[in-house]
Amino acid sequence: MNAIEVSNLGYQFSKNHVILQNVNLNVPNGSIYGFLGPNGAGKTTTLRLILGLLKRQTGEISVLGKVLEKNRIEIFKEIGNLIETPSIYSHLTAKENLEIWRKIYQCPQNRIEEVLHLVGLENVGSKKTGQFSLGMKQRMGIAIALLHSPKLLILDEPTNGLDPNGMIEIRDLLKSLNKNYGITILISSHLLAEIEKMTTHIGVIHQGKMKFEGTLEAFFQLRNESSNVRLRTNSLIKTTELLKNYAFHVQDNMIEVKIQNEQEIASIVKTLVTNDVAVYEATINQNNIETVFMNLIN
């Protein structure tokens, strides 16, 4: 059974501004599903439609085995979410913020201490949430989302803007919630390396269309037929001109070239050196999530 099933979902702001085109999304129960795509690909719009924050135009949405439009209240009692920034009162403490939400959700009083412990904020005391770091605010948002013990957690870019330590904390927290409490998690992101480290399933969306959906292992199998070599040279422009007959893309001042075998590396390097291009680095890049992702959307 899937926690979320979306079929033929479409959405547009105007006739000439189409956001989603026949999107199909299936999030298995008990999974951590990474929803990948560049900024503007349609990730947040899809999540807003699943959460009823936007009115569905075309397609069908089922959550936890129930049709969304017919069972909204029942479904939303089982979902926790954090879309974009956490909704917290900066002049209140963590406990005071949670007390407001506890009354809305009608949760037992001891649930506040439980969720603060879950997200690692049990020792913040009387500190106002306005004084929290960005990572602490994200954990506070997740604490609110967990307050009513949801079966499904939907998060939009929860590690965006965090420093490396904050990313690790959020990643470990989500993996723990999934493993120890059986919470299904749908997490959208454009931070590919983070998604690789925590997910069991992946969906890739680009320009409003789904490009891939499946397990993490199936995602990496897309690159079994070929490899890529990453090159760093003294002239990116000249390198791209000389390698115009190869499939490649440029990222972070490096060029990544698709190759069929390792022998091609020697040929590429020889071509560059012969034409007075200095090669500072040539690295084979196999089963890298960034490479698979770029191949899909290109």
Q: How many CB atoms lie within 10 A of CB 106?
A: 7
Q: Read off the pLDDT of each residue in 152-168 and give the average, rounded to a whole number.
A: 87
Given pLDDT bands bounded at 50, 70 and 90, which one contains residue 226?
low
Contact 162, 170 (CB under 8 A): yes
204 and 263 assigned to the same domain: no
pLDDT at 225 over 70: no
Boundary residue ending a domain (221, 241, 271): 221
214 and 288 assigned to the same domain: no
Closest CA to 20 of 43, 52, 53: 43
Contact 140, 97 (CB under 8 A): yes
Contact 41, 206 (CB under 8 A): yes
d(CA 225, CA 121): 47
d(CA 154, CA 184): 9
Given pLDDT bands bounded at 50, 70 and 90, which one contains residue 283?
confident
Given pLDDT bands bounded at 50, 70 and 90, which one contains residue 298?
confident
What is the count of structural domains for the chain? 2
230 and 217 assigned to the same domain: no
Convert the pLDDT of each residue in 237-281 to its tens digit: 999 999 998 888 888 788 988 887 778 889 999 999 999 999 999
pLDDT at 25 over 90: yes
Domain encompassing residue 258? 224-297
End-to-end CA distance of the chain: 32
148 and 278 assigned to the same domain: no
Boundary residue ending a domain (221, 247, 280): 221
| C-alpha pair distances (Å), 201 with each of 1, 27, 214 | 14, 8, 6
59 and 194 assigned to the same domain: yes
Convert the pLDDT of each residue in 186-224 to its tens digit: 999 888 888 889 999 999 999 999 999 999 989 888 765
Given pLDDT bands bounded at 50, 70 and 90, which one contains residue 286?
low
pLDDT reported for residue 287 = 58
Q: Read off the pLDDT of each residue in 40-69 and give the average, rounded to a whole number.
A: 94
pLDDT reported for residue 84 = 77
171 and 279 assigned to the same domain: no
| C-alpha pair distances (Å), 142 with each of 63, 80, 89, 174, 253 | 20, 8, 15, 9, 36
pLDDT reported for residue 55 = 92
